[in-house]
Amino acid sequence: MNALLPRTPLPALSGPPGDRLEVVSAWDADTPYQSWRPQALVPSTFRPATAPRVYAVVNQKGGAGKTTTTVELAAAWAAAGLRVRVIDADDQEAALSEWLLPQYPEGAVRHSLRSVFFDECTLLEATYPTTFENIDVVPSSLDLKRVEYDRPIGAEMALATALREEAAANGGRSPYDVTLLDAAPSLGLVTVAALTAGDEVLVPLAVGGLDLKAMAALDRTITNVRAKTNPKLGVGAVFLTAWDKSGFARQLASKVSEDYPEAPVFPIRRSVRAAEAPIAEQPVRVWAPESTAAADYGQAAGVLLPGGSV
Ligand SMILES: Nc1ncnc2c1ncn2[C@@H]1O[C@H](COP(=O)(O)OP(=O)(O)OP(=O)(O)O)[C@@H](O)[C@H]1O
Ligand SMILES: [Mg+2]
């Protein structure tokens, strides 16, 4: 076995504390636009989750912020000391597996999420360390497409079953406090399998690219998954990614909160640092711990699953 690279600890946030999102339980529709500050909406009915937790990060629109949301929540929870696994459920190149590089042991067969769908290995055997402390990854590549083409029997249930079997083999509890599934921009079989495996779905929406028809299609898929394969699936949160202060963003936030009255809605402010981080192969939290994007995701992570100071 080769020497694996040392693992970088996830840093604390270093932005000014006064720059955090205000947390409200109802949208402020009255403050004049000029003096309005970005707010995170946490409905009064909301209750934080406890570990272990499985989140599917889904939106079939491309570029909605799914991979960024997956990586930054993972980084925030890892910084809080939770054991986090991210699963690349996207067959595109330059996706999650190229951002958080898996550290493969030398000479061993390299597994991926595809191998799990085809029963070639367990989920744990397809899980590799990243170079970041407390974050492991299940990689994917173009060959994940084979799942859509070959449609192996039981594919919709494959991830839910793999997670259940893994917990059973570990004394009834997942070896990870948090598992995040980063979906492809499609509502194909792998995405349905991710929704079937999740306790909750997290929905990132790019403010500028909002498409109400796409949101309706996602809603229908969630409803179908609940009816057929995963009755417990809830909408855990909505993230308004690459957020800029505008009248439209404010309207969008209130529309989303009407559609998902029980879900927190988090604006994630636009930050050039967020766009740079994948190229640097680092979470934004490591690349720019002072950035608003790192702070906003850290705040969201602390609301959803308080695991210490994030
Ligand atoms: N808060 C932010 N500020 C600025 N840019 C951002 C922010 N969040 C995401 N981005 C950029 O937006 C682009 C799309 O983000 P991302 O790759 O996370 O979306 P995605 O939904 O995973 O895309 P795909 O559907 O292709 O998988 C990326 O270039 C990313 O760096
Ligand atoms: Mg992506």
Can you spell out the DSSP letters for 16-84?
Answer: -GGGSPEEESS---SS-GGG---EEE--TT-----SSEEEEE--SSTTSSHHHHHHHHHHHHHHTT--E
* pLDDT of amino acid 17: 83
Q: Are 209 and 248 in contact (CB under 8 A)?
A: no
The pLDDT assigned to 309 comes to: 47
**In this structure, CATH architecture of domain 48-299:** 3-Layer(aba) Sandwich (3.40)
The best mutation among 21, 58, 61, 67 to test binding of ligand 1, ranked by most ligand atoms within 8 Å of the C-beta, falls on: 67
For residues 236 and 229, what is the distance between their CA atoms, to the nearest angstrom? 18
Ligand nearest to the CA of 208: 1
| Ligand 1 site, residue 241, Cβ cutoff 6 A | yes
Question: What is the pLDDT at residue 244?
Answer: 86
Task: Give dist(CA 75, CA 285) in Å, integer.
Answer: 7
d(CA 114, CA 35): 50
What backbone phi and psi angles, to 5 degrees, belong to 158?
-60, -40
Six-digit token pair at 195? 């929704």
Q: Is 240 in the pocket of ligand 1 (CB under 6 A)?
A: no
This prediction's pTM: 0.96
Q: How many A from CA of 242 to the centre of ligand 1? A: 8
3-class DSSP state for residue 162? helix
Q: Residue 37: CB partners within 8 Å, gap ≥ 6?
A: 21, 22
The answer to whether the beta carbons of residues 152 and 158 sit under 8 Å apart is yes
Report how far apart the first and last C-alpha atoms of the chain are (Å, whole number).
Answer: 34
Q: Which atom of ligand 1 is nearest to the CA of 185?
A: 25
Local mean pLDDT, 10-residue blocks, the chain (310 residues): 76 89 84 78 95 97 96 97 98 92 95 98 97 97 96 97 98 97 97 98 86 84 97 96 84 86 94 95 97 96 80
Residue 220 C-alpha to ligand 2 middle, in angstroms?
21
- What pLDDT sits at residue 308? 54
